[in-house]
Amino acid sequence: MISRDEFVSRFGGVFEHSPFIAERAYDDGFVGDKLTVDRVHTELVAIFRAASKEERLGVLRAHPDLAGRLALAGELTEDSKKEQAGAGLDRLSPEEHARFTELNSAYMQKFGFPFIIAVKGLNKNDILAAFEKRIGNSRDEEFVTAAAQVEKIALLRLTSMLPET
């Protein structure tokens, strides 16, 4: 059986900069012999959903802006760097980068957390379209949408780490 330290080290970053989720999953006695994508995702999502609204907001706020200053400074987590590069966000024209910067600022000002979307399988145009649509949401609608995207990102990250069954 995997130790708490090993579990948190392995899965603590599945929810961006939020190891408390893996810690609580382990402390709940979840860990068994067979760690699969479905089992680990189900447990981590249950912990995320059971967290206080402030803690969930903290998880949302732990995500970087898309094509934002952390990306430019090379300070993204390895997962975020790969995800954003896969969507072409590391190869934006100056005009596209300016549009992302403008939307990131407006979104953060309106909602108090960064725009979050699972970028795998999307390109910069898909992401911009979703950005422009979602900025019209209410704060409550967007909190729910962003939280669902965080859960999807966690699933995608786990899929690259574990067997499915």
- Residue 76 lies in domain: 65-143
41 is annotated as an active-site residue: no
Structural domain includes residue 55? no
Structural domain includes residue 152? no
The residue ranges of the chain whose pLDDT is under 70 are 67-76, 165
Is the Cβ–Cβ distance between 58 and 17 less than 8 Å?
Answer: no
Residue bearing tokens 């574990």? 162
Give residue 16's identity as a one-letter amino acid code.
E
pTM score of the predicted model = 0.90
| Closest alpha carbon to 23 in 10, 36, 37 | 10
CATH number at residue 102: 1.10.3330.10
Helix axes 139-159, 94-111, angle to 10 degrees: 120
CA 71 to chain centroid: 15
Among 17, 41, 63, 97, the active-site one is 63
Structural domain includes residue 3? no
Is the Cβ–Cβ distance between 102 and 115 less than 8 Å?
Answer: no
Structural domain includes residue 59? no
Structural domain includes residue 46? no
